[in-house]
Amino acid sequence: MRARMSPFSQVLSHAYLPARNPLASGSRAMTPMPAARAAGIGVIVREPLANGFLAGKYAWDSTWEKGDIRARMPRPYVKQMAALGQRVRELAEKAGTSPSQLALRFVLDQPAVSVAIVGMKTVQQVDENLGWEA
């Protein structure tokens, strides 16, 4: 059972994931989570699939069309996210699930998380992302 949350929320981007993600480094849960939970603040996680990187969609050498937000990302960041995506793919394969389902499960299993805002462009992505619940 989740603790009663205050009407205040904090928005957390996927930017916190690489640095403090057990999937990436074996470290504990994302840094702001314990503090938010202790304060009774619900966390809204934005972009839990990190622009598709944690869904296993992109490699370090991927390219994007002009206007795509990923095209403006610094290459070292793209390399870091692609490596994390590869690790998520490996763990998902061992778990018998998809990378996006594993990444969403990790985020939603954090006790302080109230909501995860997932951007999906296709019906196939919706079906896959909802499959974690089945």
Q: Where are the domains of the chain?
A: 9-120
- Alpha carbon distance 29, 65 (integer Å): 34
Q: In what order do the strands lie in the sheet with 42-46?
A: 9-13, 42-46, 113-117
| Helix (H) or strand (E) segment spanning residue 103 | helix 99-108
The mean pLDDT value for 15-21 works out to 45
How far is CA 25 from each of CA 67, 100, 126, rounded to the nearest angstrom? Answer: 32, 18, 29
pTM of the predicted structure, to 2 decimals: 0.72
Catalogue the E-assigned strands of 1-134: 9-13, 42-46, 113-117
**pLDDT in the model for residue 29:** 44
| Helix (H) or strand (E) segment spanning residue 109 | none
Per residue in 25-64, pLDDT tens?
444 445 677 777 888 888 888 888 989 999 988 999 999 9
Identify the three-state secondary structure at position 111: coil
Interior angle at CA 32, CA 31 and CA 38, nearest 5: 115
pLDDT exceeds cutoff 60 at 13: no
Identify the three-state secondary structure at position 3: coil
- Alpha carbon distance 105, 88 (integer Å): 12
